[in-house]
Chains A and B, each alone.
Chain A
Amino acid sequence: MSAGLRYVGGVVPRLFGFLPLVVGLVVWELIPSADDSPFFPPPSAWLEDLRNEHGFGDIVSALWATLRTVVVGVFVAMVVGAVVGIAIGFFRVVRLSVSTTLEFLRALPAPVIIPIAVLALGQTETMKVFCVAFASVWPVLLNAASAASSTTPLLIDVGRTLQLTRAEQVRKIVLPSTVPAILLGVRVALPVAVILTILVEMLGSNIGIGSLLIDAQRAYRSADAFGLLFVVGIFGFALNALFTAVGWLFLRRWPEGAGVG
């Protein structure tokens, strides 16, 4: 999917690509009736409402709370996903034993974990992190498993020749060769983690950008809701861009063809 995207996106001057968005927003702003529409408030009203309702500091602290949950949740998912994934990929019996259960868990829409977690853990930060980690663990786990099971056989043979123990084989050969796949999994998991975090915040939390959004809905402040949507959009976009940059910096020095590209 991402390969196709890169191909489609190509080397076109990126800025031209924002044209439909800009035109859309300008038209929305200029439609005469937009000014007093309770449903489709014009973009200028969004920013005004955002300023009136929250102030800059509130939004920054809400985004900070959301970011913290996302990052901690994804980190937990990365560690658990990598460990379990490698075990599944490297040991055939483990793979056969857990695959049916995992296929069902993976197919289960992630948000269903929230009510279970709320009952078991209450409205706590631990509950939020657990939900986010549960939702984002699958892409990491599946990528790690697939990469670990397709580690170049030659490398495994080298390990045997050097008489490494099983544990050393995993640490020195399998783990390094799965890192690119794990990072790719995290990249896929990141948008899911943002969605889950905001949803958890919407359902009965009083911090984070999700709780601001649901408050705006309950108070029928539609300009505010659209404004917050705008803020969340920038947040998601920036988070993706940041992680892509970090991943690139990290993998730049990785040997060619070490993993599954």
Chain B
Amino acid sequence: MALARAASGRINGYGIATLVAVVAIWQLLVDAGAITAQYIVPPTEVVAAADDLLASGELQEATLHTLRAVLIGWALALALGLVLGCMFGLLRAARTYGMATVDLLRSLPTIALVPPAVLVFGFSVRMEVSVITWAALWPILINTAGGIAQVPRELHDAARTLRLSRLRTAVSVIVPAAMPSIVVGARLGMAVAVILAIVAEMAGNPAGLGYGMVFAQQAIQPADMFAYIVTIGLLGVVLNAALVAGSRLIPPVAAAQAERERR
């Protein structure tokens, strides 16, 4: 992740300059008439469209709808994924009699679940949440189980030396040691949850940011469409940043972070 390293930490002047330059060139090309494609609108028009959408309240409403579906779906996936992940990580029998099923189910292209989900739940938030939960469950489950499986031997031995019960070992040794990996799973799950919310709104439930975007496209309102797209991008960035900031509050994760920075 050299890229992430270059981007984080100190402010990257080159990077921001390039981003600004791209937007400026886009604007200039449209102004100068170099791009005449009818559907490529200049950034100023996108800002104006976003302003209109904000004034009418449509953009806020759509954002709240999508955000709610994402958070509910992700929270359900987190709860389920932690329980199942701990089960798969701690119990050998669960791995023997279940891992292949997990591998098969998680390789199912989630998008194909939207039509059956629409038929079962109708055009509703429940349909979105069901699809989001299904999709976000797998990365959380896999990372929880994987993190637990990779807890170093010495920690198991230390717990045994201290004569901790199996439950106590799991709660106060194994799960904290696996916490950094669990957080990675939660972040991957969040990214998947945002994508699936948008997808479910594009192809299923007519509400939220995904629907707004597709509706603007079909109504040939490219400025509105780009306004929705930028909002979707910002939603993803903000949720990820919130999760990263939140995870720093968990002691084992903060410790692992400090360790990495010391090296």
Contact = CB atoms under 8 A, between A and B. Distances in A.
Interface string A99-116: 111111001111110111
Given A101-B15, A101-B22, A1 B96 contact: no
Given A13-B96, A119-B225, A236 B109 contact: yes
Contact of B18 (A8, A17, A100): A100
A3 interface: yes
B82 to A, nearest CB: 15
Contacts of B184: 1
A104 B240 CA distance: 12
A5 interface: yes
B195 A110 contact: yes
Contact of A3 (B146, B191, B228): B146
Nearest to B37: A120
Contact of B143 (A1, A7, A119, A209): A1
Contact of B3 (A8, A9, A16, A142): A142
Interface string A16-48: 111111000000000000000001100000000
A10 interface: yes
A115 B7 contact: no
A134 to B, nearest CB: 13
A103 B233 contact: no
Given A97-B14, A103-B3, A146-B2, A225 B116 contact: yes
Contact of A108 (B4, B16, B199, B233): B233
30 contacts: A1-B143, A1-B146, A1-B184, A4-B143, A4-B146, A4-B181, A8-B99, A12-B99, A16-B97, A17-B98, A96-B14, A97-B18, A100-B19, A102-B3, A104-B233, A111-B195, A116-B225, A119-B225, A120-B37, A120-B40, A142-B1, A195-B111, A198-B109, A203-B214, A229-B112, A229-B115, A232-B112, A236-B109, A237-B104, A237-B108
Contacts of B181: 4
A182 to B, nearest CB: 15
Of the four ranges (under 10, 10 to 19, 20 to 34, 35 or more), the interface on chain B belongs to: 35 or more
B108 A107 contact: no
A68 to B, nearest CB: 16
Interface string A68-108: 00000000000000000000110001011111111110011
B164 interface: no
A4 B111 CA distance: 26
Interface of B: 1-4, 6-7, 12, 14-19, 22, 37, 39-40, 88-89, 95-105, 107-116, 118-120, 139, 142-143, 145-147, 149-150, 181, 184, 188, 191, 194-195, 198-199, 202-203, 210, 213-214, 216-217, 220, 222, 225-226, 228-229, 232-233, 236-237, 240
A191 B107 contact: yes
Contact of A222 (B15, B116, B210): B116
A112 B232 contact: yes
